[in-house]
Amino acid sequence: MVSVTPFGAFHAYKVAMCLASAIGLAYLLIAELDHPDYRWPILVTTFGVFAFAIGEPVSEYLIGSPVAHALHAVILSIIVVGLAGFVDASRHSTDWAALVASDPVDVRRHEPWMTALDDRILSLFHSSELVLTPAIIALNLDYSRSEVNRRLSKLADAGYVERVDRGKYQLTGQGSAYLRESSETAGGGPENAV
């Protein structure tokens, strides 16, 4: 014979917590989420949480523990299908790529000797389109002049910048190509180069 457990404060607490979670998910479904690919995962997940909120304590109270465990498994698999829908929808979406590849520095193929400062120096040359001195670069990038001098000599040795006069540098074609290639790698295309 199946024993029936009394419906007590613990069951009421579980119902309240599950309903609060389900109401939060329903709020997301109705008010916050405009992306149509995410609608069905939220709908399935919300249904699963509502079913868990109502079905779990009621089945434990009316039917008994063994059937309640089977019901748990069915309802949790519905919730898992809903959560897997989020992963599948975001995998097919390119919205995440804007977060990852918004800054071309994040996706550039660096030379092994290059640092983040090298990218910033090259970007400064590219954006200003001027002949710059190490003092001006250091002031704009908030680095020491000696550090900028060290990085400029490395960049000049690699051919990314050239020394045009004593203490004055400009971007070379190779440096421009490096910046252009990295922005195209990020998906910006040549028209959106850094």
C-alpha distance from residue 56 to each of 15, 16, 73, 74 (Å): 8, 12, 10, 11
User: What are the tens digits of pLDDT across the range 114-147?
Assistant: 888 888 899 899 888 889 999 999 999 999 999 9
In this predicted structure, what is the pLDDT of residue 135? 93
Q: Residue-wise over 152-180: b if at least 16 C-beta within 10 A, else e?
A: bebbeebebbbeeeeeebbbbeebbebbb
Domains and CATH numbers, the chain: 9-93 (no CATH), 100-192 (1.10.10.10)
Q: What average pLDDT does the chain have?
A: 77
Residue 162 β-bridge partners: 170
- Report the Cα–Cα distance between both ends of the chain, in Å, rounded: 74
For the question of whether the overall pTM of this predicted structure is more than 0.85, the answer is no
